[in-house]
Structure 1
Amino acid sequence: MIGRCFSVQSSSPNELKFQTLSGIQHLAESRRFKAWFLDQFGVLHDGKQPYYPGAISALEKLATCGAKLIIIKGELTHQYLQRRDDAWFASLGRSCIHMTWSDRGAISLEGLGLKVVESVEEADFILAHGTEALGLSSGAALPMNLDELEKILDQCAAKKIPMVVANPDFVTVEARALHVMPGALAATYEKLGGEVKWMGKPDKIIYKSAMEMAAVDASDCIAVGDSLHHDIKGANAAGIASAFISLCPCH
């Protein structure tokens, strides 16, 4: 993270300004922000290499300066499906078509009380965690390409069942290459007329939850990400400052 280019945007609409930095040391030492919300892919690592050079030292520097560090990931969907104290989630059934990963590892749904089904006719909703496979009732994952998954989406749209997308990213960085993410499936589903619940950036819900977790106000935190459409747009929606890592193949 240190040593790469940052463009930092103010959180105040009346003070819309940018500055370009070569790293985070100056911001960290200024202690301007009490909490830092960090994206994973493209910020801390690339999906293959455990950490970018300088990432660990950057985190250590922030911790030394007293900052609270929260890594933004897909846990919010798990929490909402488990608690169901939100009206929209309370109305969902328990049977789902699960789109998941194969090479990157299938996502566990343990503890959510869900029944994974393979037939659209049995499904109450779609849960999109990945773009490589279809979850099976046995707990295994059947590898599928995007065309095959989109054919299932066609059937789901005809039945008018909703989709929960756990990661709205369209693409992510993996070993410096771009990998299609669940957000792409969700965008396709909306074009088919399907209802999509976007769980994560750019929806401000994830940053609002992070602020509650860190017990800070919007003026006291900053979001760091490598996607203008998700990380930075989400930070703007939540009214917080943001740092965009500009040396990213997503742009």
Structure 2
Amino acid sequence: MAERISTLSDVSTLYDVLLCDVWGVLHNGVDVFQHASEALSAAREKGVTVVLITNSPRPAPGVITQLRMMGVADTAYDRIVTSGDVTRKLIAEGPSKVFLLGPERDMPLLDGLEVQVEAAETAQSIVCTGLFDDEVDVPEDYHDMLLAFQTRGVPLICANPDLIVERGHRMIPCAGAVAAYYQQLGGEIRIAGKPHKPIYQAALAEAREQRGTEIDLSRVMAIGDGMPTDVRGAVDAGLDLLYISGGIHAAEYTVNGKPDEAILNAWLKSEGVDPRFWMPRLA
């Protein structure tokens, strides 16, 4: 049964490295959770290495710029690894003619790669960073296009495995939802971000380089709010987990505006996971 904690400092001395999710922990796409940045900054002051590990399809420099614009303190982390970073390897290893399924702002994902953006009819792979307009579109809107890709055996490379994110107080579909729908249609998908191993291997490599020493996995804790990504990824990587209950799954166990601990633990058990700790928001 997960232990409720009041502050990150209650347990941070148990760890050398924290692998912390971004969207849902540090911000919700609109509002910055200032206490979360302060908690991570305080952990770093005690010698803990903090690596942000995010399913953003943007390479790390773009996410750093975004975090600064939102007001997330630079002192909150040492390094950052994105799904975009590890997905670039999948793109480089795939066919050179790609179709970008997502907003144009995600084009930097392809910078420096020997690929050519093509029309849907001629592309040999799909690079999915999200929906064209995630404010209004849903994956089913792309049924005909995706079915045509599936019929031609075109693989889909998913740059953001998240199914949904919380944007303010709304739930917004992500590239992971498109990938799941494509898989339902019989299409092949390729993913390197959370919960898959490549992004955790990359994050631990960054921590190792930052600390200048080998990393003891028993002294690494992941922090996140997403069951299919943060939670599954941490469990599969053999890491302790601090579950943030106030994220995308809050409706599963919230009663009168507060998480009900008994319902929360029953829900975690039904999902087959047992985080070491939990708290509503990182603080």
Question: Contact 1:204–1:235 at 8 Å: present in 2 too?
Answer: no
Report the Cα offset of residue 65 of structure 1. Answer: 1.0
1:99-110 pair list within 5 angstroms: 99-101=101-103, 105-108=105-108, 109-110=110-111
Q: Tell me, what secondary structure is at the counterpart of 2:18?
A: strand
* Equivalent in 12, 28, 32 of residue 46 of structure 1: 28
Letter of the structure 2 residue corresponding to residue 236 of structure 1: V
Residues 175, 217 of structure 1: CA spacing in aligned structure 2 closer, same or farther, 3 A cutoff? same
Q: Deviations over 1:154-190 (max 9, x none)?
A: 1110111111101111000111211101111011111
TM norm structure 2: 0.70
Tell me which protein shows more helix as a share of its residues. Answer: 2
The 1-side partners of 2:190 and 2:44 are apart by: 34
The 2-side partners of 1:97 and 1:203 are apart by: 23
Q: Which residue of 2 aligns with 1:126?
A: 126
Question: Contact 2:87–2:193 at 8 Å: present in 1 too?
Answer: no
Q: Which residue of 2 aligns with 1:98?
A: 100
Report the Cα offset of residue 126 of structure 1. Answer: 0.7
Question: Contact 2:226–2:248 at 8 Å: present in 1 too?
Answer: no
The 2-side partners of 1:168 and 1:64 are apart by: 32
Question: Contact 1:93–1:124 at 8 Å: present in 2 too?
Answer: yes
Q: Which residue of 1 aligns with 2:3?
A: 19
Q: Which residue of 2 aligns with 1:240?
A: 239
Unaligned runs of 5+ in 2: 60-81, 209-214, 251-283
Q: Deviations over 1:174-223 (max 9, x none)?
A: 11211101111011111111111122112122112211221123212111
Report the Cα offset of residue 96 of structure 1. Answer: 0.9
Q: Which residue of 2 aligns with 1:219?
A: 218
| Count of matched residue positions in the alignment of Structure 1 and Structure 2 | 217
Letter of the structure 2 residue corresponding to residue 189 of structure 1: Y
Q: Which residue of 2 aligns with 1:69?
A: 50
Residues 21, 81 of structure 1: CA spacing in aligned structure 2 closer, same or farther, 3 A cutoff? closer
The 2-side partners of 1:225 and 1:186 are apart by: 21
1:163 pairs with 2:156 = yes
Question: Contact 2:92–2:115 at 8 Å: present in 1 too?
Answer: no
Report the Cα offset of residue 107 of structure 1. Answer: 3.8
Report the Cα offset of residue 68 of structure 1. Answer: 0.8
The 1-side partners of 2:137 and 2:3 are apart by: 44
The 1-side partners of 2:191 and 2:117 are apart by: 20
Residues 244, 19 of structure 1: CA spacing in aligned structure 2 closer, same or farther, 3 A cutoff? same
Q: Deviations over 1:51-100 (max 9, x none)?
A: 2131221121111111111111344554456556xxx953x111111111
Question: Contact 1:78–1:112 at 8 Å: present in 2 too?
Answer: no
Residues 82, 206 of structure 1: CA spacing in aligned structure 2 closer, same or farther, 3 A cutoff? closer
Question: Contact 1:82–1:111 at 8 Å: present in 2 too?
Answer: no
CA RMSD of superposed structures (Å): 2.3
Q: Percent identity?
A: 25
The 2-side partners of 1:97 and 1:125 are apart by: 6
The 2-side partners of 1:46 and 1:201 are apart by: 18
Report the Cα offset of residue 145 of structure 1. Answer: 5.6
Residues 237, 61 of structure 1: CA spacing in aligned structure 2 closer, same or farther, 3 A cutoff? same
Q: Tell me, what secondary structure is at the counterpart of 1:223?
A: strand
Residues 25, 165 of structure 1: CA spacing in aligned structure 2 closer, same or farther, 3 A cutoff? same
Residues 158, 227 of structure 1: CA spacing in aligned structure 2 closer, same or farther, 3 A cutoff? same
Q: Tell me, what secondary structure is at the counterpart of 2:34?
A: coil
Residues 20, 77 of structure 1: CA spacing in aligned structure 2 closer, same or farther, 3 A cutoff? closer
